[in-house]
Amino acid sequence: MVTNLTLDNGIRLVTETMPSLRSVSVGVWIASGSRHERPGEAGLAHFLEHMVFKGTETRSAERISLEVDRVGGDLNARTDREMVGYSVRVPDAHFDMAMDLLADMVSHPALAPQAVETERQVIIEEIKRYEDAPEELAADHLIEILWPGNTAGSPITGGLADVVGTTRQGLARFHQSHYRAANTVVSIAGRFDADRARDLAERLLTDLPAGQPDAGGVTPAVAARGAVRCTTRDLEQVHLVLGWGGCGACAQERYAQAMVDGMFGATTSSRLFLRIREERGLVYSVWSEPALLRETGALIVCADSSPGNVPEVLRLILAEARSLAEGRFEADELEVAREQFKGSTALSLESTDSRETRNARGVMYLGRPLAFEEVEGLANAVTRDETEAMASRLFGSGMPCVAAVGPIDEPELRAALEAAAD
C-alpha cells in the first residue's frame, strides 16, 4: 500500500508497506542538486553530501557507520543534478534507528573544520579518479556541451579549483538555504508501521527550517546541436558519447521516448547492438539511455571502439537514427521495445531500495508516485504515430553533440562526424 501526504511541518512523506519482507529502506531526499548552485557555489551540493556522513552534533562519523554496520545495514547517498538522496536499508526491527540516524545526519551536520579539510582531499581524489576513467569523462563532457552555459550541464563534483575554494561557511549557507522542510521528501518502503513512520518523520525532522528553498542557479535549459568536444589521450580505444536533446521527466512524451530508446540501443536486441557489435564486430559495448531533468532531457549513446573504426561507428549510429526519424520500423519492433520497457520496470521494483527511490522521484517530479499499473497503461497507450513523432523530434533536425576521449583529435572527430552525416 502506498500513501503520499504532506506533514504539518511541510515535509512530503511517501510510504509503501511491503509486509512480506524483513527489511525497510528509508530515504531522505533534498530537491536541490548541482543544478541549483549559484555562481561561486559549484560543487557545494556534492561536497555537502560528503560532509553529512562526517558527523553530527551528537554522532561522530565512526558512530554513524557503526550504528548501521552493527545491524547489517547499508548506508548510501548520491548527488544528482536536481536532488540529493540519503538512504539506509536495515532489518525491519531497526526501523526507528534508521529514521533517527538519517534525520540527525540531514538536520545537524557538524561541518567540523578538520573534517572539511579531510573530505576536501577525498573529493579531489574522486575527481582525479573520474579524470582517469575515459567513459565517465566523455559522458561528463557530453553533458557540458549539450547544455552549455547552464548549471544543468555543470559537473556535479565541481572542478578541482571549486573544491579547493570551498569553505565551511559556504557549506553551512548551502545547507541552511536548501535543506528545508518544503524541499524535503521522506520515502520509506518495506516492512514498517505507517503510523509510526509518520510520527517519527514529524518528530525527528522538526529542526529543518520552514520557508521556501533557494531557487539557486536554475534557468531553462535548451539542448545544443552539433557541438563537439575531444580530449586526446593515449589509450587503446576512443570512448564516444553522442547526445540528442529530448523530453524531460515531467513530460508525458517520455514514454514515447522510451519506445524510441528501446528500438535504438537500450537492449542487446536493439539496432545499435545488432548492427555495430553483432553484425560488424566494431565495438565491445554500445548502448543508449535517456537523461531526464525536470523540463528537459536527452537521449544518449555510448560506444567504445578502436580509432580506425570511429568513422564507421559514427556512420552506423547516425544511419539508424535517421531510419527511426523517417519512421522506418516494423510494428513488432515497437512491441518488443514496449514489452521490454514494461518488463524492466517491473523487475526494478523487486527491492525496497528501488521502490523507495522510485517513489521519492515520483513525488519530486510529478507530485506523486506512479503505480506500476499506471506506468504499464501509459506505455501501452503509446501509438506508432507518437513514436514516429518522437523519433523525428529527437533525430530529425540537426546533428547530435559528440564528446570523445582517446587517441583522436578534434579535427579527426569532426571530419568523421561530417562524413557520417552525408
288 - beta bridge partners?
301
**Angle at the Cα of 297 (from 355 to 342), degrees rounded to 5?**
40
The residue annotated as part of the active site, out of 41, 49, 67, 356, is 49
Question: 28 and 106 in contact (C-beta within 8 Å)?
Answer: yes
Distance CA 113, CA 115 (A): 5
Q: Distances from the Cα of 321 to the Cαs of 116, 315, 331, 378, 386, in angstroms?
A: 47, 10, 17, 24, 16
* Residue 326 annotated among the catalytic residues of the structure: no
Helix axes 384-395, 254-264, angle to 10 degrees: 80
C-alpha cell at 320: 539508424
Question: 88 and 101 in contact (C-beta within 8 Å)?
Answer: yes
303 - beta bridge partners?
240, 286
Distance CA 271, CA 393 (A): 19
Specify the DSSP class assigned to residue 230: E
Annotated catalytic sites, by residue?
Answer: 49
